[in-house]
Amino acid sequence: MALASRLIRLVCMLMLAGVTLPGFSARAATPGQAIEVVLTDDQAEVQLGPSMQSREDAGSRLDAQAAWASPAGDWHRQHNASINFGFSTSAWWTRVTLRNATGHDLERILDLGSSLLDHVDIHVLRPDGAQLQGMSSGDRLPFASRGENVRTIAMRLHIPAGQQVTVLMRLQSHDGLNEIITPRLYAPEAFTAHVQLETLAFGVYYGLLATVLLYNLFLYASTRQTIFGVYATYVGCFLLWGLVFRGYAFQYWWPDSPDFNNQALAIIVSALYMSLGLFLMKYLDTANSVSRKMHRFAAISTAAQGLCILPAFLNLYAATFIINSAIGSLEIMGLTAIITVLVVKKKSKAGRYAAGAFTTLSVAALLYYLRVLGFVPANALTDNLLQIGSAAEALLLAFGLADQMNTLKTEKLHAERQALAAQTALNTQLESLVSSRTAELEMANERLANLAITDELTGVYNRRQFNKDLAAAVALHTRHQTPAALCLLDVDHFKAYNDRYGHPAGDEVLRQIATALRQQLQRASDHVYRVGGEEFAILLDINEPPEKVERFIMQMLAAVHGLNIPHEGSPFGAVSVSMGLVILKARGASRTATELYSAADALLYQAKQAGRNQVISQTLD
């Protein structure tokens, strides 16, 4: 709880320090007059909510002229950017006066910021009450009734030069559940930019959900594990909810079916709750991880969400969401209690993922409603907190599901290994004598095979294996035009070292150099060979550019020098090596093994002639 509290305070501070919308000039209203908003050319966007007045029409008896003539005392100022009339069967009127302070006509777009208003009548009136413009729209009418072809309800206003107009709006819900509006006034260019940016942001959001959905559908189709199908259903419901709630489904999919649009939203919300409950019960394994009472409570409250769908078919939109909210609250309480038990008492990793997802969505929802109530400023971030929170929640749950699948896979693999080990032990016990003799014979054969290809002193491959591997590498280069690299190296002044320190010390030097070289290798297909007394070879299977191979060989040179083996007979004061490197480029000319070896040997000779303790390289086309 303390972490969630700190997170809420942090996000609030960030948003309060966020983008400030363009300001506007407003004068206090005189009795009987709407508040006046002064419009100028430099205003790209104006929030109208704080300057609007509203009045209730309890019997829905007023027309535009009657509302226009209402006494000043009937009107109450709205002080927030967002306007919410809550649950009310009354009609509601709002008004605001716009004055064109320029010397030319102004064109502005009034955007109510919502796509779900049931009935909206907009009247643009002169100071004498005569109507200049009007529009009747809402999501209970076909989409074509809207003034602008955008997802929200918007209307283009024409304001004559130097004059004032009053925007009078009548809003009424279908059956009492009023939607929140955030009225703004845009210049046409600013409105186009706003719609484009908003479409891009929602496209990213819906694309994210669609990607998670398709990925989990693929997992379900390939593994047939129910949990992936349930999670895909949950993410799919979230995706559909976003498209319907934000008005894109009505705009593009069923613009002539307003009743279906409202029914679809109610049904999707119920399905969302049900799929969330089913997923979390399966993901958290509530049937085995918590008490039977807690599991049954979560299961019953989840199943009860199906009852919320019935009112939607009877066109009872508000009833659907009232029942949905009540049952959903019980479901969330039950799931929260389960998550708390798993996190606090059982230290469940799955519970921590679920707690993080729930907390993220809860914080986003809390901040969103604080924005609705006016405690947090309305801007592009706060208007879309539910989408941000839901996307974060979906990702956290997806990560949790992936982690759980990896854990189960590891446990299954461990169990299979234990079963295999037990079976092997049993077979070994039953056939102990034969297996023992067979193992001894195989070990002897392996030792013989290793002795045949391994240098006895250094433990690296010997000249016989080198000849075989070099021939294979050259054949592969010739057949498939793949790159290859051969490096020959020789210990500098090694005879002088043996003369001064003795042959046993010289043998130890060869062993240390072989170990240092082998430790530098990065691929299983790369090998070190002892091909002579103090001469070694390095055969590399490469796919990097020549420059990178040269740097790698230089690292080997440095590794030998880093041994810091004293050598008073060397001008360098320590044991060093000289190296000749030949690189065969891909799609180069064919070479024989002898030609490749001779080229590397010649480069090694050049390195010695040039002063030793260095690499001379050549790339052959």
> Between 347 and 123, where is the model more confident?
123
Whether residue 219 sits in one domain with residue 101: no
Whether residue 137 sits in one domain with residue 36: yes
287 φ/ψ sector (left φ>0, alpha ψ -120 to 50, else beta): alpha
423 within some domain = no
Task: Please give the Cα distance from 555 to 517 (Å, whole number).
Answer: 9
Whether residue 223 sits in one domain with residue 356: yes
Which tokens in the block code for residue 426? 């049993």
Residue 30 banded pLDDT, cuts 50, 70, 90? very low
pLDDT on residue 11: 34
**Of 219, 220, 324, 222, whose CA–CA distance to 277 is shortest?**
324
State the sign of the Cα–Cα–Cα–Cα dihedral 237, 239, 245, 251: negative
Whether residue 457 sits in one domain with residue 326: no
pLDDT on residue 195: 94
Question: How far apart, in Å, are the Cα atoms of 42 and each of 26, 36, 45, 96, 156?
Answer: 15, 17, 9, 20, 18
Whether residue 464 sits in one domain with residue 390: no
Supply φ then ψ for residue 169, to 5 degrees: -125, 140
Supply φ then ψ for residue 40, to 5 degrees: -130, 175
Residue 435 banded pLDDT, cuts 50, 70, 90? low
pLDDT, tens digit, 9 for 90 and up, residues 472-511: 989 888 888 888 899 999 999 999 999 999 999 999 999 9
Please identify every residue annotated as catalytic.
534
CB-neighbour burial class of residue 39 (10 A; exposed 0-12, middle 13-18, buried 19+)? buried
Say if CB 261 and CB 267 are below 8 A apart. no
pLDDT, tens digit, 9 for 90 and up, residues 563-572: 999 999 899 9
**Residue 168 is inside which H or E element, if any?**
strand 164-172
pLDDT at 45 over 90: yes
State the sign of the Cα–Cα–Cα–Cα dihedral 314, 320, 322, 324: positive
92 within some domain = yes
**Of 74, 69, 38, 39, whose CA–CA distance to 53 is shortest?**
74
> Between 15 and 555, where is the model more confident?
555
- Give 76's strand partners: 54
18 within some domain = no
Task: Please give the Cα distance from 421 to 416 (Å, whole number).
Answer: 8
Could you tell me the CATH number of the domain that includes residue 454? Answer: 3.30.70.270
Helix (H, G, I), strand (E, B) or coil at 322: helix
Contacts with 169 (C-beta within 8 Å, 6 or more apart), sequence order: 93, 94, 95, 120, 121, 122, 123
Task: Please give the Cα distance from 565 to 505 (Å, whole number).
Answer: 10
Whether residue 544 sits in one domain with residue 399: no
552 within some domain = yes
Residue 370 banded pLDDT, cuts 50, 70, 90? low
**Beta-sheet strands, E only, within 467-534:** 484-491, 527-530
State the sign of the Cα–Cα–Cα–Cα dihedral 371, 376, 380, 381: negative
Least confident of 13-27, 189-203, 261-275, 351-365: 13-27
Say if CB 164 and CB 98 are below 8 A apart. yes
380 within some domain = yes
Task: Quote the pTM value.
Answer: 0.59
Last residue of a domain, one of 162, 186, 210: 186
pLDDT on residue 40: 94
pLDDT on residue 18: 34
Whether residue 182 sits in one domain with residue 226: no
pLDDT at 273 over 80: yes
Say if CB 495 and CB 568 are below 8 A apart. no
pLDDT at 147 over 50: yes
- Name the pairing type of β-strands 36-39 and 91-100: parallel
Whether residue 207 sits in one domain with residue 177: no
- Name the pairing type of β-strands 484-491 and 535-540: antiparallel
- Give 94's strand partners: 54, 169
Which tokens in the block code for residue 182? 């955030």
pLDDT on residue 19: 31
Which tokens in the block code for residue 555? 């690292």
Q: Tally the residues of the chain.
A: 621
Other C-beta atoms lying within 10 Å of the C-beta of residue 19: 9
Mean pLDDT of all residues in 131-154: 93
424 within some domain = no
- Give 186's strand partners: 45, 109
Residue 448 banded pLDDT, cuts 50, 70, 90? low
CB-neighbour burial class of residue 104 (10 A; exposed 0-12, middle 13-18, buried 19+)? exposed
CA 175 to chain centre: 39
pLDDT on residue 537: 95
Say if CB 19 and CB 379 are below 8 A apart. yes
Which tokens in the block code for residue 135? 């529009």
Say if CB 337 and CB 43 are below 8 A apart. no
Mean pLDDT of all residues in 124-138: 94
Whether residue 163 sits in one domain with residue 75: yes
Whether residue 248 sits in one domain with residue 131: no
Residue 187 banded pLDDT, cuts 50, 70, 90? very high
DSSP for residue 163: -
DSSP for residue 35: P
Domain membership of residue 134 as a residue range: 31-186
Say if CB 35 and CB 29 are below 8 A apart. yes
Q: At what angle do helices 463-480 and 593-609 cross, to 10 degrees?
A: 110
**Residue 108 is inside which H or E element, if any?**
strand 106-111
Contacts with 256 (C-beta within 8 Å, 6 or more apart), sequence order: 142, 143, 144
The three state secondary structure string of 50-79 is HHCEEEEECCCCCCHHHHHCCCHHHCEECC
Whether residue 380 sits in one domain with residue 262: yes
Which tokens in the block code for residue 578? 């000289």
Say if CB 156 and CB 107 are below 8 A apart. yes
Say if CB 135 and CB 109 are below 8 A apart. no
**Residue 309 is inside which H or E element, if any?**
helix 309-313
245 within some domain = yes
Last residue of a domain, one of 392, 412, 432: 412
pLDDT on residue 25: 34
Say if CB 535 and CB 499 are below 8 A apart. no
| Proportion of the chain above pLDDT 70, given as a percent | 87
Average pLDDT of every residue of the chain = 84
Task: Please give the Cα distance from 283 to 93 (Å, whole number).
Answer: 48
Number of domains the chain is built from: 3
Last residue of a domain, one of 390, 412, 434: 412
Tokens 């002193």 locate to: 457
Say if CB 324 and CB 270 are below 8 A apart. yes
Q: What angle do CA 118, 119, 121 make, to 5 degrees?
A: 155
Whether residue 406 sits in one domain with residue 336: yes
400 within some domain = yes
Amino acid at 311: P
pLDDT, tens digit, 9 for 90 and up, residues 194-207: 999 989 988 998 89
pLDDT at 26 over 50: no
State the sign of the Cα–Cα–Cα–Cα dihedral 502, 504, 510, 513: negative
Say if CB 304 and CB 327 are below 8 A apart. yes
pLDDT on residue 552: 92
pLDDT on residue 383: 66
Mean pLDDT of all residues in 138-157: 93
Could you tell me the CATH number of the domain that includes residue 283? Answer: 1.20.1070
